[in-house]
């Protein structure tokens, strides 16, 4: 099926550059963008008039927790205290199927309402909750990279798995759900080093060696966490080295936070071609520290932005771009840099820049339409207004894989 949309297009080109095209026609056939022209290619097709909006590539959220939606705003200024006081008790409740359905429904619908087209999701240790989340993502049409959380130590009894059971179940879910459609990919999800034995991580590393799936975990978010990791893994030179020795770093590994890293760790990440996920709102909320963006750019490590619900407080990715700008005290970045970080930059971190992240022919038709003042013509001014003045109520339409999954009158 062919559809044509008349709109104004703002496209990321690079970290420093974006392009604005006013009053253009985007043609979609099935799930692919086929042309972007000043005149419509076909006059027999009804044209969808979105000329009061700016069309952006669908927003990408590289790191969030589906079942933490209801603990947003539950405050502690320390990661480990926050996990024990709020996160783990909430995740225990997810063993209840009705509760899991309720939270998954709210979370995925709100991701979409906020303009997100692709989300990397952590479930919990519960297989049932994982399957509920996948089914909700399929129902609502969200492009999703998702995994069942793996935890076999230093966790409440209700959230602690047996090591081999955790491995076996994750492998089974990978074989069952990875690429069941072009919208769902499985992501192995060892929560973080403090809740995963080296045995678990090493067995995972051995399994993934030849299949290159996605892996997501947390790294060096909090000073106390880093100290504890050094206590538990004394054979490792650093926190990053724990993952390196276990064999779970790689081109499709996503390392959330990555705040407290030395140069040796940055070299390990660069050499492994792993990517980093910056979560500025969450880092500020938990007083975890300031992301060393200058160093990440110096080492040319791919990175993107994550909302990190529930320490993150908001699912709207332009808000997180705003926080990214606010939180860089000693390194100046501009709105175009921040915009790139939740569009094409995140697609590059996922090794998917040939599929998503910008609106170009032959890419998937993933796009978000935001109602804005369209009298501006300078790309940086338009993006600045997106980041600093819009909110989720301004998202008028979301298209994923060529299908409209959210639309407001």
Q: Give the DSSP H/E element, type plus range, for residue 325.
A: helix 317-326
**Rounded distance, CA 128 to CA 94, Å?**
9
Tokens of 142: 């969200």
Give pLDDT tens digits for 129-178.
999 999 999 999 999 999 999 999 999 999 999 999 999 999 999 999 99
CATH architecture of 2-58+358-407: Roll (2.30)
Give pLDDT tens digits for 327-365.
998 889 999 999 999 999 999 999 999 999 999 999 999
Look at residue 83 in the predicted model and tell me its pLDDT: 96
Give pLDDT tens digits for 192-203.
999 999 999 999
Look at residue 165 in the predicted model and tell me its pLDDT: 97
pTM equals 0.97
Confidence of residue 123 (pLDDT cuts 50, 70, 90): very high
User: Helix 317-326 to helix 379-389 angle, to the nearest 10 degrees?
Assistant: 100
Transcribe 264-312 into DSSP letters.
Answer: HHHHHHHHHT-EEEE-HHHHHHTT-----HHHHHHTT--EEE---BTTB
The rounded percent of the chain whose pLDDT value lies above 70 is: 99
- Strands (DSSP E) contained in 45-153 are 47-57, 59-65, 116-122, 143-147, 149-150
CATH of domain 59-315: 3.20.20.140
Residue with token string 């320390």:
78
C-alpha dist (Å) from residue 276 to 249, 341, 343 = 11, 11, 15
Question: What mean pLDDT value characterizes the chain?
Answer: 97
Whether 44 shows a pLDDT value over 70: the answer reads no
Give pLDDT tens digits for 91-112.
999 999 999 999 999 999 999 9
Look at residue 329 in the predicted model and tell me its pLDDT: 84
Confidence of residue 43 (pLDDT cuts 50, 70, 90): low
- The answer to whether 307 and 61 are in contact (CB under 8 A) is yes
Residues shown for the chain:
409
**Rounded distance, CA 379 to CA 400, Å?**
24
The predicted model gives 13-26 an average pLDDT of 97
Give pLDDT tens digits for 294-327.
999 999 999 999 999 999 999 999 999 999 999 9
Domain boundaries, the chain: 2-58+358-407, 59-315
398 closest CA partner among 316, 319, 335: 316
Beta strand pairing call for 2-12 and 18-29: antiparallel
Look at residue 205 in the predicted model and tell me its pLDDT: 98
Look at residue 323 in the predicted model and tell me its pLDDT: 98
Look at residue 180 in the predicted model and tell me its pLDDT: 95
**Rounded distance, CA 151 to CA 13, Å?**
39
- Alpha helices per DSSP H over 53-120: 79-82, 88-93, 97-113
Residue with token string 């819009």:
390
Look at residue 233 in the predicted model and tell me its pLDDT: 98
């Amino acid at each position: 099926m062919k559809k044509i949309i008349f709109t104004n297009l703002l496209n990321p080109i690079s970290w420093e550059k974006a392009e604005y095209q006013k009053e253009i026609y985007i043609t979609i056939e099935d799930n692919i963008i086929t042309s972007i022209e000043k005149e419509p290619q076909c006059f027999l097709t009804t044209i969808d008039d979105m000329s009061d909006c700016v069309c952006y590539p669908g927003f990408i959220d590289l790191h969030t927790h589906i079942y933490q939606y209801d603990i947003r705003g539950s405050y502690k200024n320390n990661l480990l205290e926050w996990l024990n006081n709020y996160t783990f008790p909430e995740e225990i409740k997810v063993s209840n199927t009705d509760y899991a359905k309720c939270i998954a429904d709210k979370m995925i619908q709100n991701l979409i309402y906020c303009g997100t087209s692709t989300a990397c999701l952590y479930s919990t240790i519960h297989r049932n909750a994982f399957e509920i989340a996948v089914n909700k993502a399929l129902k609502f049409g969200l492009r999703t990279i998702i995994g069942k959380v793996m935890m076999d130590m230093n966790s409440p009894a209700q959230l602690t798995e047996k090591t081999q059971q955790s491995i076996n179940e994750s492998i089974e879910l990978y074989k069952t759900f990875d690429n069941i459609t072009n919208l769902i990919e499985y992501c192995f999800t060892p929560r973080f080093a403090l809740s995963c034995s080296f045995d678990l991580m090493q067995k995972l590393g051995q399994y993934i060696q030849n299949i290159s799936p996605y892996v997501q975990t947390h790294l060096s978010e909090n000073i106390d966490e880093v100290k504890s990791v050094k206590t538990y893994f004394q054979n490792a030179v650093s926190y990053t080295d724990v993952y390196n020795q276990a064999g779970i770093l790689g081109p499709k590994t996503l390392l959330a936070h990555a705040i407290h890293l030395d140069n040796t760790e940055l070299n390990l990440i660069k050499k492994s071609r792993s990517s980093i996920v910056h979560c500025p709102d969450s880092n500020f909320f938990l007083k975890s520290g300031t992301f060393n963006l200058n160093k990440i750019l110096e080492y040319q490590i791919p990175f993107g932005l994550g909302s990190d619900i529930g320490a993150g407080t908001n699912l709207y990715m332009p808000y997180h771009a705003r926080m990214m700008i606010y939180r860089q005290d000693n390194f100046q970045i501009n709105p175009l840099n921040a915009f790139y970080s939740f569009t094409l930059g995140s697609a590059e971190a996922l090794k998917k820049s040939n599929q998503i992240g910008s609106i170009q022919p032959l890419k998937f038709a993933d796009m978000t339409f935001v109602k804005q003042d369209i009298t501006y013509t300078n790309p940086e001014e338009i993006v600045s207004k997106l980041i600093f003045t819009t909110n989720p109520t301004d998202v008028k339409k979301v298209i994923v894989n060529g299908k409209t999954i959210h639309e407001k009158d």
